């Protein structure tokens, strides 16, 4: 049996350098028993999914400077 889960809400994304951002999100609702998250990073129409994140934050690295994500 698989229940439908609610998408977490991103609480902040902070640029650490020109090639890295730290993304933080909240579990929504707080009582869901979620073990891992997937994070989708999209730029210029291309998406990359980072899977199996077990925390409520992630440092996205190797980003291209002067690119909107």
List the chain pLDDT tens, one digit each, 69 residues: 456 667 788 899 999 999 999 999 987 666 677 788 889 999 988 999 999 998 999 999 999 998 888
Output b/e per residue, 41-57; b: 16+ Cβ within 10 A: eeeeeeeeeeeeeeeee
Give pLDDT, residue 28: 67
Give pLDDT, residue 8: 81
Give pLDDT, residue 1: 45
């Amino acid at each position: 049996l698989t229940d439908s889960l609610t998408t977490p809400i991103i609480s902040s994304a902070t640029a650490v350098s020109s090639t890295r951002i730290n993304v933080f999100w909240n579990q929504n609702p707080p009582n869901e028993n979620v073990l891992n998250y997937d994070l989708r990073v999209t730029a210029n129409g291309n998406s990359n999914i980072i899977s199996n994140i077990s925390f409520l934050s992630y440092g996205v690295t190797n980003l291209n400077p002067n690119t909107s994500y």
